[in-house]
Amino acid sequence: MDCTKKSGRKNQIIDGVVFTVMLAVIMAVTLKLFYMQTLGDVNSDMKAYILEMQGLESGYHFPYPVFFKFAALLHLFVSSEMSVALALTVMNGLAIVVTKLAFNRLVLPAGEGDWRTGIFVSLVSGSLFFISMLYFPEGIYLPGIRFWYLGVFTANPFHNATFMAARPFAILAFLWYGKLLPVYEQKGAAIGDYVLFSLFLFLATMTKPSFTLVMVSGAGLLMLYRLIRAGFRNFLPTLQLGLCFIPTFLALLYQYAGVFVPRDGGEGGIGFCLGEVWAEYCDNIPLGICLAMAFPLTVLILNRKEVKRNAAFRFAWLLYLVSFAEAFFLYEKGFRRVDFNFSWGYMYGIFFCHFSSLLLLTRQSIRAVKDRASCGKRKLCLLLLQWMVYLCHLVCGLFYFRDVLVDGTYY
């Protein structure tokens, strides 16, 4: 027993050291990018964020203060540019830590696996934050695809600080909702889980509400479906879970009052369309979807039976479908139309499909290594195919990160 404990402790130490080094490297390179954005050397909205953090007029209204207040706290010790860059680096790093801990818990239950498995999970967790849409070198024409990023979109928009700053809270809200889904209709959920889910969703909303719009819509549809299917016999537990959304609803009402309003006599509010705003950036939306979602689509096609048993994976796809519908059918009227702000929710849908797909593939791969004798060649080939598609996203993402850092453009 003592030997087992010592071995487990050794595995944790080795994994922890490797993960810490990896995280330090990631935070160093991302800090460089974010600081260059604050200086204007790389295209982004950082200049407006710096003004907002200082309480100055930025020309925009940002009624989601978490990121800006954190940067303002750091501004007591460092320059305005460094405080914003450092705040974003820390929050992006927190998302990686949350992902690593989640993967450890969901992929390695009860501390299974040795230090090699732990390192593998660490590398997988970190790589998720560098994947991008698939794209090809200049000179290779893809019909209807005018930009690498615009109109295709990515799980990691390196140029948008508030998206990345909200992501640790969005991941936690996604995970806690997934934890509540199997038990909220019964008596297995602790009151603390309801409180934590409500808190994480509220924090995500007050950092950037794009994820919340998708989450609330997707969760609402799922809960309504379950309510009708159960003949309203689960009304009280559904109401109990619904109460968790009240702080977020209040925050959204506050944000709506400041964002979706006319400016300088122009139009305000939300309009409906049939992809016209999206089509301003991409002439081939179906191909754009495939370039952004190649890996989750591959996992979905090759794991249909497993998906039926994986509620988190199904919910991630529900979020994606909701995010796609919002991006395709909705737009902001007035001067914000060109910003295509509903695409941020769509990118959260892309991210969580990759998140859940990578979680599923990692779990299957570890099991395949553990049970090599019973794992046939066909299954190994299918696992390899899925990893190859994921590596294509990762390679493109690393080149995309380099291009954003060196060339200063993201589109």
- By residue count, the chain amounts to 411
Rounded Cα–Cα distance for residues 136 and 158 (Å): 19
CA atoms within 13 A on the CB side of 348: 36
| Mean pLDDT confidence for 50-60 | 85
Segment holding 272, helix H or strand E: strand 270-272
> Does position 271 have pLDDT exceeding 60, yes or no?
yes
- For β-strands 270-272 and 330-332, DSSP reports them as antiparallel
Task: Specify the range with the lowest mean pLDDT, choosing from 81-90, 139-148, 231-240, 270-279.
Answer: 139-148
Give the pLDDT band of residue 2 (cuts 50, 70, 90).
low
| Mean pLDDT confidence for 235-255 | 93
Q: Which of 6-15, 91-100, 115-124, 399-408 has maximum average pLDDT?
A: 91-100
> Does position 35 have pLDDT exceeding 80, yes or no?
yes
> Does position 16 have pLDDT exceeding 80, yes or no?
yes
Task: Specify the range with the lowest mean pLDDT, choosing from 45-49, 94-98, 398-402.
Answer: 45-49
> Does position 267 have pLDDT exceeding 70, yes or no?
no
> Does position 256 have pLDDT exceeding 80, yes or no?
no
For 197-218, how does the pLDDT look when each residue is reduced to its tens digit (9 = 90+)? 999 999 999 999 999 999 999 9
**pLDDT the model gives residue 255:** 80
| Mean pLDDT confidence for 245-263 | 79
Q: What is the pTM of this model?
A: 0.94
Rounded Cα–Cα distance for residues 145 and 282 (Å): 6
First and final C-alpha spacing in the chain:
56
Rounded Cα–Cα distance for residues 268 and 61 (Å): 14
> Does position 1 have pLDDT exceeding 60, yes or no?
no
Rounded Cα–Cα distance for residues 47 and 66 (Å): 17
For 307-365, how does the pLDDT look when each residue is reduced to its tens digit (9 = 90+)? 888 888 999 999 999 999 999 999 888 777 888 999 999 999 999 999 999 999 999 99
Q: What percent of the chain has pLDDT over 90?
A: 71
Give the pLDDT band of residue 110 (cuts 50, 70, 90).
low
